[in-house]
């Protein structure tokens, strides 16, 4: 009888190890495979494995960032989460930008990727999480001030992106559109600084779960019934034991590796997209899904735990950062690399962005969500994907 607990522990330890570290070991293995096929000139396989490796390593980056955010006081914790949230997206899109000399359609892919990142965050991430959470809990509650603030920010940001597009479609020359793009990029960055102060200093209560949210009841129940198993599962997670400086080094090392993979993905992927006849819009959507995939996993897990407040923060916060930080960063990096990005989006992209924000406002303004609202977001995304593929 005494051997049974030991046998159970022996069977549990390998499963715990795989659950804790599948992402980093899988990401490294996939990276090696991607590099090998890139080296021998098989662009199709290298593109697929590079994408999978980026997703796996991005999950590790997000987990280490969560650990650091818990240790650091505000606003530094938010800086870490913000940086890691946009780093992969910026790296991917910048490497695509660098392919413009050999693939002129690369710039359209980058423009589509910027808009698609928000559309994927707000429709796939939010929609899927709300749908799954709604099936499990019927209705879920969150702080309506959070969604109200974020939808206002996103609406203003979307209108700002319209400025260069209006100039471009009204017959103004390229230099004027380019000048307007840099001016708007600078204004978006200033807007982000203001929002960061609003979120982390003056109005932090707007972005926290309200007392009526069942997340608190759920957490108490979870601690009572599953706390022992939870601690056993994560007590040996190595990144929890590492110091803060070492974890920062880990994040930078992983992002460096993701940068190498992004270069492989951009080089081989653009050729693959061209060979398969994939439109720039659909290519941008694919890149957005790759960069957002880790956040989707995190949001779905939170929704299953009735943590819908965290889902709203992830979806809308990531969308906000995707515009307010990614756009200025790409403009600056493009200027340094002598690849000038113009924020001249087509009517489909701007229209889809504005309709997404309006839908998000309608589905979250009352502080409650259900599975019907989740499926509405998924429906909007599928319609956009069809148009992006055929536009």
Tokens representing 151 are 């939808």
Please give the Cα distance from 233 to 227 (Å, whole number).
Answer: 10
> Under a CB-based contact definition with an 8 Å cutoff, are residues 346 and 169 in contact?
no
Query: 174-197 and 308-324 helices cross at what angle (nearest 10)?
Result: 140
Query: 144-169 and 174-197 helices cross at what angle (nearest 10)?
Result: 170
Gyration radius of the chain over CA positions = 21
Q: What is the percent of the chain with per-residue pLDDT over 70, rounded to a whole number?
A: 84
Record: fold of 3-390 = A middle domain of Talin 1 (1.20.1420)
* pLDDT tens by residue, 68-120: 877 876 456 656 766 777 888 899 899 999 888 877 788 888 988 899 888 99
Round the average pLDDT of the chain to a whole number and report it: 81
* pLDDT tens by residue, 281-309: 888 888 888 888 888 887 888 888 888 88
What is the DSSP code string of 269-293? HHHHHHHHT--HHHHHHHHHHHHHH
Burial (CB count within 10 angstroms: exposed 0-12, middle 13-18, buried 19+), residue 163 = middle
Please give the Cα distance from 92 to 299 (Å, whole number).
Answer: 22
pLDDT at 173 over 70: yes
15, 222, 228, 229, 304 from 234: Cα distances, Å: 12, 15, 10, 9, 19
Please give the Cα distance from 110 to 387 (Å, whole number).
Answer: 17
Tokens representing 7 are 């046998």
Q: Give, in degrees to the nearest 5, the angle at Cα 268 between 263 and 272.
A: 145
- pLDDT for res 290: 86
> Under a CB-based contact definition with an 8 Å cutoff, are residues 297 and 23 in contact?
no
Burial (CB count within 10 angstroms: exposed 0-12, middle 13-18, buried 19+), residue 275 = exposed
Please give the Cα distance from 244 to 318 (Å, whole number).
Answer: 24
pLDDT at 58 over 50: yes
pLDDT at 12 over 60: no
Span 222-232, average pLDDT: 48
Tell me if the bond preceding 21 is cis, omega within 30° of 0: no
Please state the domain extents for the chain: 3-390
20, 108, 112, 226, 376 from 17: Cα distances, Å: 5, 42, 39, 19, 38
């Amino acid at each position: 009888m005494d051997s049974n607990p030991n046998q159970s522990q022996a069977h549990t330890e390998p499963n715990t190890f795989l659950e804790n570290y599948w992402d980093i070991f899988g990401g490294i293995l996939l990276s090696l495979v991607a590099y090998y096929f890139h080296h021998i000139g098989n662009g199709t396989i290298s593109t697929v494995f590079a994408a999978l490796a980026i997703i796996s390593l991005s999950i590790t980056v997000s987990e280490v960032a969560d650990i650091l955010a818990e240790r650091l006081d505000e606003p530094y914790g938010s800086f870490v989460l913000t940086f890691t949230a946009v780093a992969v997206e910026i790296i991917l899109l910048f490497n695509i930008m660098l392919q413009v000399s050999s693939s002129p359609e690369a710039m359209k892919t980058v423009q589509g990727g910027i808009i698609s990142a928000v559309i994927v965050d707000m429709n796939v991430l939010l929609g899927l999480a709300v749908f799954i959470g709604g099936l499990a809990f019927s209705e879920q509650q969150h702080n309506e001030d959070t969604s109200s603030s974020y939808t206002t920010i996103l609406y203003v940001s979307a209108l700002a992106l319209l400025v260069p597009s209006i100039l471009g479609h009204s017959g103004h020359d390229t230099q004027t559109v380019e000048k307007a793009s840099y001016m708007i990029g600078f204004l978006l960055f200033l807007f982000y600084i203001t929002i960061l102060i609003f979120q982390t200093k003056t109005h932090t209560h707007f972005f926290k779960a309200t007392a009526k949210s069942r997340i608190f009841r759920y957490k108490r129940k979870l601690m009572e019934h599953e706390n022992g198993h939870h601690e056993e599962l994560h007590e040996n997670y190595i990144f929890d034991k590492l110091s803060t400086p070492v974890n920062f080094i880990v994040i930078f090392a992983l992002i460096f590796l993701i940068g190498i993979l992004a270069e492989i993905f951009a080089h081989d992927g653009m050729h693959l997209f061209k060979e398969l006849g994939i439109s720039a819009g659909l290519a941008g959507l694919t890149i957005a899904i790759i960069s957002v995939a880790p956040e989707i996993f995190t949001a779905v897990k939170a929704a299953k735990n009735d943590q819908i407040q965290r889902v709203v923060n992830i979806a809308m916060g990531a969308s906000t950062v995707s515009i307010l930080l990614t756009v200025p960063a790409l403009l600056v990096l493009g200027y340094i690399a002598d690849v000038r990005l113009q924020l001249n989006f087509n009517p489909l992209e701007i229209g889809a962005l504005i309709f997404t924000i309006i839908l998000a406002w309608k589905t979250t303004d009352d502080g409650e969500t259900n599975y019907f609202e989740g499926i509405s977001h998924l429906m909007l995304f599928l319609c956009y994907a069809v148009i992006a593929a055929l536009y």
